[in-house]
Amino acid sequence: MWESMPEGGAYWDKELLRMQKLKGQRALVTGASSGIGKAIAIEMARAGADVVVNYLYGDDVANAVADEIRGHGVRAIAHRADVSREADVVPMFERMEAELGGIDILVNNAGLQKDADFHDMTMEQWNTVIGVNLTGQFLCSREAIRAFRRQGLRPEISKALGKIVCISSVHEVIPWAGHVNYAASKGGVMLMMKSIAQEYASMRIRCNSICPGAIRTPINQGAWETEESYNALMKLVPYKRIGEPDDISKAAVWLASDDSDYVTGASIFVDGGMLLYPGFENGG
Ligand code: BGC
């Protein structure tokens, strides 16, 4: 039986297309013009969702992602907005409501790093990271919750009133010297997510996080682009390979679908075991 199945990846691809687990749903993915956000936006479309591709820089790349999404037979809008600004976020949700009729899935993905030794960290470095990574997730989650409550349940579409997927990091629990602003923002995302989940579970709004480890994207290019840096990185990854954006996008589709209907308030680590204290493999 197992031998007769197609190779794993191809099997999943066919199943996803056949099942269309997110058919009729409308997803907003922030920071969706590159990296993990782009992979999630495309995977949501492959699962049948209409997608708003939020981005801040690069109209061309965002439009190209939206075009690729339309190629999967669903609707797509590329929308430029700075998620850290309320004056940008509110009109983005208004446009989604006007053009797609509402929202079923929010993926809070937009995030950045501005690394510095702590004693040299400027207010600008602190505020920018907290602003995008934490305040941005607050603003988008608040608008999504308002919309979910207004819209009401569509049982033929989903068992939940709405779903929020926060892209956090292993650094919501692993301290990170030289990246204090980033670790603080992700620690904040953890308890923001869990508190939202607690507050709205009885309304059947689910809120969860994916915590990526080292994923091959522009944000951490320095950590994987040379053989030397890649080998150093692998000392932190028990599974001995870097993660790819699709490792995250498949988890995101699962968290957005009814397959995870009993999951809320969870931090799901997709990290090749980075959280397993790899330094203790041969020590302690
Ligand atoms: C960071 C990456 C880093 C990874 C593992 C992520 O949240 O954005 O730069 O490689 O955590 O440390």
Domain segments of the chain as ranges: 22-271
- Give, using CA atoms, the residue closest to atom 7 of ligand 1: 169
10's torsion region: left (phi>0), alpha (psi -120 to 50) or beta?
alpha
Choice from 167, 170, 176 to test ligand 1 binding pocket (greatest atom count within 8 A of CB): 170
Specify the ligand 1 atom closest to the Cα of 219. Answer: 9
pLDDT at res. 62: 98
Choice from 115, 216, 219 to test ligand 1 binding pocket (greatest atom count within 8 A of CB): 219
The Cβ of residue 179 has, within 10 Å, a number of other Cβ atoms equal to: 20
Specify the ligand 1 atom closest to the Cα of 113. Answer: 8
Specify the ligand 1 atom closest to the Cα of 176. Answer: 12
What is the C-alpha separation between 88 and 84, in angstroms, rounded?
8
- Give, using CA atoms, the residue closest to atom 10 of ligand 1: 214
Instruction: Say which CATH architecture domain 22-271 belongs to.
Output: 3-Layer(aba) Sandwich (3.40)
| CA 71–ligand 1 middle distance (angstroms) | 31
- Give, using CA atoms, the residue closest to atom 9 of ligand 1: 220
| CA 213–ligand 1 middle distance (angstroms) | 6
Specify the ligand 1 atom closest to the Cα of 271. Answer: 5
Enter the tokens of residue 158: 């989903």
pLDDT at res. 4: 45
| CA 220–ligand 1 middle distance (angstroms) | 6
pLDDT at res. 3: 42
What is the C-alpha separation between 169 and 176, in angstroms, rounded?
11
Q: Name the DSSP class of 79.
A: E
Which of 93, 209, 102 has the alpha carbon at shortest distance from 143? 93
- Give, using CA atoms, the residue closest to atom 4 of ligand 1: 214
**Please, what are the averages of pLDDT over each run of 10 residues along the chain (284 residues)?**
52 69 98 98 97 98 98 98 99 98 98 98 98 99 98 97 99 98 99 99 98 97 97 98 98 98 98 96 88
Q: Name beta bridge partners: 79.
A: 54
pLDDT at res. 17: 61
Choice from 189, 220, 276 to test ligand 1 binding pocket (greatest atom count within 8 A of CB): 220
Contact 93, 100 (CB under 8 A): no
What is the C-alpha separation between 40 and 9, in angstroms, rounded?
16
Residues known to be catalytic: 182
pLDDT at res. 6: 52
Contact 111, 132 (CB under 8 A): yes
Contact 71, 216 (CB under 8 A): no
Q: Which residues line ligand 1 (CB under 6 A)?
A: 113, 169-171, 212-214, 219-220, 223
Secondary structure E strands in 48-161: 50-55, 76-80, 105-108
Residue type for 272, please?
Answer: G
Contacts of 120 (CB under 8 A, 6+ apart): none
